[in-house]
Structure 1
Amino acid sequence: MADVEELLDGVPVRLAPAQAVRARGERRRARQRMGGVVAVAVIAATAVGIGSWTDPTPGPRGSQVASEGENPFMSHGVVQDLKPSELPRYAALHWKGDEKASDASALPQAGLDSVCNGRPGGVRAPEQQFTHTYSGKGDARARHRVAQYANTAEALDAVRRLGETLGDCGLKEHKGGGYSGPTNGNGRRLEVSVQRWGAWVRVVETQYSPPS
């Protein structure tokens, strides 16, 4: 069997030491494994993003920001109201629609029956707002508001000022979104959830007297 130098017609060839060859092979296999891990990580990140709530722009912790896509507050161009059974604490408070007592106050006003008094302080009114109020067991009241502002900046300002109003009213802001707590001097508990999609904001408020 001819050696390497004979096959190359007298051209000398220096073969790398066996240790160096093995090291190059290990580096090549490591790069292949790393490429596979990166691909899996990208797929996992994409899967988590589907249908989730994200916060691509700065805003109060107590609000949630919907990811890109169709307006989650509308269906076929119509703002969707909440059924009484979709409100928090339905099993205990037995919500019913209360068309006669509609309270269409704009943000940063919060709470019903004057349990919280916000200070508008330069907040621009929404271009349009859809409001539905509900009554429940005892003195329980609830309200669902969906408002469209002229732009995202105005929506963010309204949400921020709402957070200030709720804080002044005695409510605590939750890291995962929303506010809750007893209102100052009124003996009632108020729970508020806030969601934003671009220039649209949805606020759901439920207030009731805690069981004694």
Structure 2
Amino acid sequence: MAEVEELLEGVPVRLAPAQAVRARGERRRARQRLGGAAVVVVAAVAVGVGSWAAQSPPRDTPPAATRTENPFVVGGVVRLLPANSVAYFKTRAWTADAVTSDSAGLPSVGLDGVCGGTVGADPAAGQQFARTYTGKGGARARHRIAEYADSGLAQDAIRGMDHRLAQCGVRQTGEGGGDRPWVQYAGTTGDGTQLRVSLERAGAWVSVVEIQFAARS
């Protein structure tokens, strides 16, 4: 009784009869046993659900997203590179020429007669867009984007450029596949001009970036 009095700061407490106390104790133990059993059941259910989730694939999961957008046309506008996005901008300080479109189609390659480049539309292409750039030391660059009727014709144009570049001594230096296959070339043509070419295809669209400068410029 001392512990109860100390805990309650002297407030008199009337204890229930012993039989009532024992009955309450039995009821409390029964509730504890029932609660413990419920916890075990919940735990078992949780383990079972966790095991099922680990072994079964999730439902209603959307398939992996595929990149079907055209990186060369955004909002209906063809994205020709601004001068400061063309490679070697720090050393060549490119400026876009006043005329931002010409009719040089694929597989023609090279500017100012380099690599046998000629001006002329590609009859296999639908839409063709181009921008040329002038840089320090007589460097030239061009970005072209062409749309074809299908991806097969676009790939044919790339093969044609590959053949044309090989003829003037410019070789492939890298390539990649996937939904946007790309190819890069580098070399020196017979007249000493260094030529760098990057091609990328997205479906029936092809993007070509050419950069050329004299070997010692």
TM-score class, shorter = 0.5 to 0.7
Question: Partner amino acid for 2:71?
Answer: P
From 187, 191, 195, the counterpart of 1:186: 191
Could you say which residue in structure 1 is the equivalent of 2:144?
145
Closer, same or farther in 2 for the Cα pair 1:209/1:103, shift >3 Å? farther
Report the alpha carbon displacement of residue 100 of structure 1 after superposing the two structures with TM. Answer: 4.0
Deviation for aligned residue 1:210: 2.6
Look up the match of 1:206. Answer: 211
Query: C-alpha offsets along residues 44-97 of structure 1, whole Å, 9 cap, x if unaligned?
Result: xx6xxx7xxxxxxxxxxxxxxxx7321000111111110111111111111000
* Aligned match of 1:99: 98
Tell me the number of residue pairs that the alignment of Structure 1 and Structure 2 aligns.
150
Q: TM-score, normalised by structure 1?
A: 0.64
Maintained 8 Å contact 2:99/2:131: no
> Where does residue 10 of structure 1 map in the other structure?
none
Q: Which secondary structure does the structure 1 equivalent of 2:186 belong to?
A: strand
Greater RCO, CA 8 A, separation 6+? 1
CA RMSD of aligned residues (A): 2.6
Deviation, structure 1 residue 158: 0.5
Cα distance change, pair 186–103 in 1 and its aligned pair in 2 (3 A): farther
Bigger radius of gyration, 1 or 2? 2
Aligned residues of 1:189 and 1:208 also touching (Cα < 8 A): yes
State the identity as a percent. Answer: 43
* Deviation at residue 127 of structure 1 after TM alignment: 0.6
Equivalent pair of 1:118/1:165 in contact (CA under 8 Å): no
1:196 aligns with 2:208: no
Match of 2:161 in 1: 162
Task: Mark the runs of 5 or more structure 2 residues left unpaired by the alignment.
Answer: 1-50, 58-63, 176-182
Give unpaired runs (5+ residues) of structure 1.
Answer: 1-31, 40-45, 51-66
Q: Could you tell me which residue of structure 2 aligns to residue 134 of structure 1?
A: 133
Distance in structure 2 (CA, Å) of the matches to 1:111 and 1:118: 5
Cα-to-partner distance string for 1:122-154 (whole Å, 9 max, x where unaligned): x74311101100000121100000000111111
Q: Secondary structure at the match of 1:162?
A: helix
